[in-house]
Amino acid sequence: MQRITIIEDNETLAALYEFKLNLEGFETTRARDGKEGLLLTESFRPDLILLDLLMPVMSGDEMLEKMRATRWGSSIRVIILTNISKDESPSALRLLNVDRYIVKAHYTPSQVVSIVHEVLGT
């Protein structure tokens, strides 16, 4: 069973993605901010992270930069899932090995799950 961590401060949206992914047979965990997400990711070791950028405590791009600097986090697949357009995203993201960049408002949860399958090759 493949593991996915959802790092999203909107609880309703995070629960929706978790529900859809669980229906598809994924094991999931959730975090509400980048700091919590970094700790959770280190212990859970997911195959993929759905990562929002604008969050309290620690932003998604800061969390990703810290994770990529570790041995355990250097190869985890990451899909950025945010409402910031790619043009407005932090420039450092280009250097942090992101698999996909999705603007939430442009995709349904079912489409996001399809992209997860595509990225993981399932």
pTM greater than 0.75 (yes/no) = yes
Choose between 83 and 72: higher pLDDT: 72
CATH for the stretch 3-116: 3.40.50.2300
C-alpha distances in angstroms, 101 versus 1, 23, 72, 94? Answer: 24, 23, 22, 10
- What residues pair up with 6 in beta bridges, in sequence order? 30, 50
pLDDT tens string 55-71: 889 999 899 999 999 99
Per-residue pLDDT band for 89 (boundaries 50, 70, 90) equals low
Residue 87 has pLDDT above 90, yes or no: no
